[in-house]
Amino acid sequence: MIFSNVDAYIFSWGNYLKNAKLLQSELSSIIKNVFILHSGASEEKGEGSVIYLSENHFFGDQFKKCSDLLENSFLFHIQADTKILDLNKLKDYIEKSINLNVGISAPNLSRTGWSTGTVSFVDEVQNLIELPSGLKHVTNTDCTAWIINSIVLSEYRRRINYFPHFGWGIDLVMCALSRQLGLPVIRDTNLEIFHESGTGYSIPGATEEYVEFIQRLPNDIKFDLMFTQSNQNKSNKLIHLEERVNFLESIRFRQHVKSYIKSKVFPRKYI
């Protein structure tokens, strides 16, 4: 089976173009449309399935570009500093995600700040669909390799339509919007993607941008994130929330997020 209702985008930069092309070759055996967005060119141009962007295009800029170009029902995005360990399991993961009509889904990662044990919903949460073995409802998936329903992406464009340069927080907001739309947010523990360590951007810059991004979100999204990221083991409070409140003034919320970044509860990649 080759998936024709999925567009795959590989985000590449610097010296990762070679690995991006290897990933493209592997993915092309199971997905019809596979593209590379590579940051590092002197000018924006397209050469077949490789789209070259200027070197100052980081995750958020690449994500906006692929959302502009998406033509199918689902987006599969993967970073170029990864390795697919089992292509057959990846194929099964994509098929299950489509059949379940997920809002957001992701595989396990060898390195992530969002471990499955940390982000899984507790058992007593009601109104969650029953999942096949190895699939878990989660509060956040990470955004190194994931599937996004075009419905969720359209809702992001309609309600938020802002893509922070470094990309921190996009995954959180996508998952929140998916919950609001009644679409499942899932981690598939049957599949693991290898992810290299290290980063090629400014952590302080990304942190400051993240705080500004969260501050400008609609209050109902802030409300969701406040609960899902601070009470990850009390998930019965996290979903199907009918009440939307103006719960904090912006300056107080900003202070909360800054202190949260320094706490051990917050994913370590943001520290």
SS3 53: strand
- Which tens digits make up the pLDDT trace of 160-169? 999 999 999 9
3-state helix, strand, coil in the chain (%, to 5): 40, 25, 35
Please state, in angstroms and rounded to a whole number, the distance separating the CA atoms of residues 109 and 116: 9
Dump the DSSP string for 69-132.
Answer: H--SSEEEEEETTEEES-HHHHHHHHHHHHHTT-SEEEEEESS-SS-HHHHBPPTT--SPPP--
- Which tens digits make up the pLDDT trace of 172-208? 999 999 988 989 999 999 999 999 886 777 788 888 8
H-run or E-run covering 15:
none
Q: What is the pLDDT of residue 234?
A: 39
Q: What is the pLDDT of residue 253?
A: 46
Q: What is the pLDDT of residue 112?
A: 78
SS3 252: helix
For the chain, which residues make up each domain, given as ranges? Answer: 7-199
Q: What is the pLDDT of residue 133?
A: 93
SS3 141: coil
Ranges of the chain whose pLDDT falls below 70? 42-43, 121-127, 198, 227, 229-271
| DSSP-assigned letter for residue 218 | -
Query: In the CATH scheme, what architecture does the domain 7-199 have?
Result: Alpha-Beta Complex (3.90)
Neighbours of 113 (CB within 10 A): 15
